Structure 1
């Protein structure tokens, strides 16, 4: 697998400067060679990828891309690696390994190039980390908030998005009259676990979306991986969604554009669109549709984005009302609702 990954990256123009057989060696190699980016497996002998990531981020912070098993167990391990400081992940191929890796060449090279530019200065465990660092996040509590009724919040993200979405959704007040739809670029085996994590860190009720689901006040739907999520109808503060298993020419499934554009067509109450960190331009067309529908749009700023791709492309449309640091996004959503 190491040889195949190295060959794939080299053929894509990436200079592979070293390899390691296990996590212990990985830490030593990274400290010696100081690469721009590391690809890291989770399951390795002696020291696994999660612990190796934790040590690297503590001792010599370096952008890390995890290679994850495309399973629910792999999802749990991957989220643990992201908690330890990894920037993003790519699912390892099943079946014939050589054919699978070759098929992933473009995506792998693009992710490595993108992750290499990530700012990891504030990721991973602190030098004086304590046992609390691995504890589940506590839901944020809020004073009573009065906002515009029947507001739908739409959030789109990609690379670096899981942590960003958790921080935004975890800071949204449950006593506001909002419903939230999250589109995070993520494989199908991972989005259910992601929804569970969000649910543990917020006062809102979070679940993975299924075809025909309805949500109302205080509820959050996370688009399932491998399918687009459309808002199919909206009435009296409750919206219904449908899942679409077709390409739609977006290059990713689920696509932020598909969800944003469908919401703009059917929702006649206030909408707030949010574009967070991510690679590529998904969401740019979507924010245009939202703006035409009278929505308010927020994008994450460059300094706090792991990858300033999607927010930058959204801002370039001229349809973004505010560009905010990550920790100000939730307040921007709530504080601006009365003006929508």
Structure 2
């Protein structure tokens, strides 16, 4: 039986979360009221998964995640307030090693959490499949990345990721030099309210100008967008080296919106210049059809390898299509992307 530790400073939230998990056959071996007690509970019980609040006394969730990863690496699911402060704290926790997060509906002490029971259970079960040992700093071979500066004109890159993705996406974009002049489309499975903050983090940490996607937006070389949470992002047009985007709320695909497949398929249809598709760590099969579409128009296709994935789902399904050109560790993805757009490649 799957075993969990529930960490939250609200007795109400601990009780509700525990009841939801146990009603689905997940045994809650201990409830902890702060990060310090949560770290001790993980050491004592060695659970399969931890649900972790962010704001707590004595030791907050970010500090607790860092300590757990240092002493007893365990998949951690963050439960975050749906606020700007909650979003920023969540990304810090993901940097420290948390594998995924769920936004609490209604705030820190959420009376609405029961209505989201399916999402909570799905996230917890997904987290148990994550490999916490794959979480850590991704090293980069800077010399290899800077070895050649001759790139093709007007290249487009589509990157898709889910569980464990934010840290890897951030590293991949930080490894792309501005002179490569890519138009970058990022689809990270993430709810509305978090994608804007994620885009801001990518903007600070890369040479590209990164923003959350807007309907009708046009992007050119050196610019990147993050698909807006709860909206599919389509490439609606392409001309003079610029992409035109459309956001829509058609039904979910693979149970998610935005879907990687939607962006990749429309990019394959509309972009007539160099096109590269990349699938990174995550649960499910979203991205497999998109990779097939990009390969069908002679685009380049890359997938993250199992050893560096938190969850080897999305890349595995893409690889199974037979349409992936190269399978690489996360730390080599930046160089591999640049290899696909070199004049001599």
With normalisation by structure 2, the TM-score equals 0.89
* 1:171 paired residue among 172, 175, 178: 175
CA contact (8 A) 1:12 1:105 kept: no
Matched, 1:184 2:188: yes
Matched, 1:321 2:333: no
Contact 1:152 1:178 in 2 (8 A): yes
- Please report how far the alpha carbon of residue 336 of structure 1 lies from its aligned counterpart in structure 2 after TM superposition: 2.1
1:209 is aligned, of 201, 209, 213, to 213
Across the aligned residues of Structure 1 and Structure 2, the Cα RMSD in angstroms comes to 2.1
Is the CA contact 1:148–1:177 (under 8 Å) kept in the aligned structure 2? no
Cα distance, 1:49 vs structure 2: 1.0
Alpha-carbon deviation of 1:113?
A: 2.0
Secondary structure at the counterpart of residue 29 of structure 2: coil
Q: How does 1:32-111 map onto structure 2 within 5 Å?
A: 32-94=44-106, 97-98=110-111, 100-111=112-123
Instruction: Tell me, yes or no, if structure 1 residue 197 matches structure 2 residue 209.
Output: no
Q: Select the residue among 158, 163, 179 that pairs with 1:159.
A: 163
Deviations 1:224-282 (A, max 9, x none): 11111110000121111011123254421111011111111111111100000011111
Unpaired runs of at least 5, structure 2: 1-12, 138-143
Assess, with a 3 A threshold, how the Cα gap between structure 1 residues 210 and 85 changes in structure 2: closer, same or farther: same
Q: Give the number of equivalent residue pairs.
A: 326
1:133 is matched with which residue? Answer: none
| Residues 248 and 119 (structure 1), Cα distance of their counterparts in 2 relative to 1, 3 Å cut | closer
CA distance in 2, matches of 1:124, 1:61: 11
Unaligned runs of 5+ in 1: 126-139
Query: How far apart in 1 are the matches of 2:115 and 2:308?
Result: 32
Q: Among 268, 281, 288, which residue is 2:285 paired with?
A: 281
TM-score normalised by length of structure 1: 0.91
The counterpart of 2:304, out of the listed 267, 291, 300, is: 300
- C-alpha contact 1:57 1:124 (8 A) present in aligned 2: no
Contact kept, 8 Å, 1:88 with 1:159, in 2: the verdict is yes
DSSP 3-state at the match of 1:183: strand
Please state how far the C-alpha of 1:300 moved relative to its aligned partner.
0.5
